[in-house]
Amino acid sequence: MTIEIPQAFWLYFTFFALLFLDGIWCMLATRNMVRVLIGIEILMKSVTFFLIVAGFLAGRMALAQALVITVIVIEVVVVVVIAGVILGFFRKRDSLDVSNTREMKG
Amino acid sequence: MSDLLLLVPFAAVVLLNLLPKRARAAGTWIAFAVLALEAAAAFAERFGYAGEPAWSPLGAVFGFHVAPDGLSGLLLLCAGLVGITALLVAQKTLRETRERFFFANLVLVALVGINGIAMVRDLFSLYVFVEVTAVATFILVALDSFTEGRGTEALEGAWKYILLSVIASVLMLLAVAFLLLSAGDTSLEAARGALAARDPLAWIAIALFLCGLFVKGALVPFHGWLADAYTAAPAPVSVFMAGIVTKASGIFALLRIASSTLNGATPGREILLVVGAVTILVGAFLALSQKNMKRMLAYSSVSQMGYIALALGGDLRLGILAAGLHFFNHAISKAQLFTNAAAIERELGTLDMDQMGGLGSRMPVTAGTSAVATLSIAGLPPLAGFWSKLLIVLALWNVGEYGFAVVAVLASLVTLAYFLSLQRRVFFGKRDERWAAVRETTPGLWVPAVALALVTIALGVGFPFALEILLGGGA
């Protein structure tokens, strides 16, 4: 079954796209690892938002709610692990600059 | 029953952390027991049943159902064998009890994810379990840096892996959202219906999900993270990752989607064919130019994953059989090669192949087993790898993709070239003065290698028999 795409979808979609691009930009434009982490968070938030919109438009809010709660839990775990890696870097290098980390050869 | 495959590893993780600090060495043995059960479950479980399982606590409490089939059994067997190998390697290469304890814990967490991937039939659940596996692996890659005085190399490998993994997660979640929008549900059944109805939103969803899986499975052009992660990770982690993690979270999920939703529909099939062929060639040529043994093995993994994607683009039934078989062969052989690399690293303290040479007479068992695995992956009869490559070429030939079939055959020659170069540089030629005192490695490292090599030989020689079981089992 295919649902009709209402006009409101494009409004939501524009907002999602802006947030998404913002997240990507935030990840790419900086060399600071904490800022990259913030970029990742913005990116995940934009997708979570889109998931809610999709549930709303498809008339499956209950399902979308379950999905979003699961996503939030997973996201917290991932962020803790990333923060741990950043902390490890900072302790060993005394710097948060990603460009210092190019020891590996392709 | 199949719920136990999720609950037992999880309970084992809880149990491990309840142990008093002095008893932590026992953690590894608990992990061994769980992995042995896992391998046994692959045989014991009657897979392929339809309808409600008889006893399902997860279904009763959360309304969450799993549906294992023949393919799941294959992944469970791989996970059991590779996991046991990785734990054995950990016993000999990780020095502190603390590190071994963390390793056992994280392997069990990853196992929950892998078992989930094996059994779910829902795009969102698939994402959740892929993420569970990934989070455990992030920490595994960085495991080396927990020890004082080590460099940040492991953290760098983990960082690269995390960044690309996050991109993959975002793509997969977007795919779930698009599927929800298009079909109103996230199950693979719904996806199949929406694809058959030629709904563009459903195609966007599947394309995004495939991209996410290409990142996870390190198919070209998303292969950048793999070599760094494998090389930076400690030896048992690279065995575990190369053997099962990348394969389960990227390639097995790809297999599942190709077999239950794509159904050989045209755009999906062409994407798999092109990505597969490019991955085979790029991976093989990158492998040719490597000096570090683990890096060469990593790029060889990239190249072999291309074969699986290529097989999925071929004849539907034969392609899935070939892909499943190649999946198994490659998991076993690559786990074994990384075990050999661990043995060499332990005895020599380096993985630079230019410094090695002539080790064959010093380490005959390592040399012999590594020859079996490399020749199997390169596709020489009568080893197991020959049969799966033959089936892949047949699957392509059956649907008239002659060009791709020729690429698959010719790329085998490049595979043979880089593996022969590995054998020559490491085990043959003139021995450096420094390695005069090198002896064969401890039984703890060569016994698992011999066991896996025997699996490869047995499957190759007894292939007609094995094929009968596979076909009978509905794989």
Note whether B128 contacts A: Cβ–Cβ < 8 A. yes
pLDDT above 80: residue B365: yes
Residue at B456 is within a domain: yes
pLDDT above 90: residue B12: yes
Structural tokens at position B101:
């304890």
What percentage of chain B reaches a pLDDT higher than 70? Answer: 94
pLDDT value, residue B349: 84
Q: Look at residue A31 and give its three-state secondary structure.
A: coil
Domain total for chain A?
1
Inter-CA distances, B50 with B67, B76, B86, B107, B240, Å: 8, 19, 34, 31, 32
What percentage of chain B reaches a pLDDT higher than 90? Answer: 45
pLDDT in tens, B281-297: 999 999 998 889 999 99
Note whether A92 contacts B: Cβ–Cβ < 8 A. yes
Residue at B52 is within a domain: no
Residue A26 with chain B: CB contacts under 8 Å:
none
Residue at B156 is within a domain: no
Q: Which domain holds residue A12?
A: 7-93
Residue at B405 is within a domain: yes
* Cβ contact, residue pair A93, B152, below 8 Å: yes
Report ipTM (2 d.p.): 0.91
Check which CATH number belongs to the domain holding A46 and give it.
Answer: 1.10.287.3510
* Cβ contact, residue pair B156, A101, below 8 Å: yes
Note whether A68 contacts B: Cβ–Cβ < 8 A. no
pLDDT above 80: residue B44: no
Highest mean pLDDT among B88-97, B130-139, B398-407 belongs to B130-139
Distance from CA of B302 to the nearest CA of A (A): 14
The answer to whether the CB of B460 falls within 8 A of the CB of B387 is: yes
Residue at B66 is within a domain: no
Residue at A30 is within a domain: yes
Residue at A53 is within a domain: yes
pLDDT above 80: residue B63: no
Residue at A57 is within a domain: yes
CA B7 to chain centre: 22
Note whether B124 contacts A: Cβ–Cβ < 8 A. yes
- Other CB atoms within 10 A of residue B165 CB: 25
Instruction: Transcribe B419-466 into DSSP letters.
Output: HHHHHHHHHSSPPPGGGGG-----HHHHHHHHHHHHHHHHHHHTHHHH
The answer to whether the CB of B351 falls within 8 A of the CB of B292 is: yes
Distance from CA of B281 to the nearest CA of A (A): 17
Q: Which domain holds residue B472?
A: 264-475
Residue at A100 is within a domain: no
pLDDT value, residue B182: 87
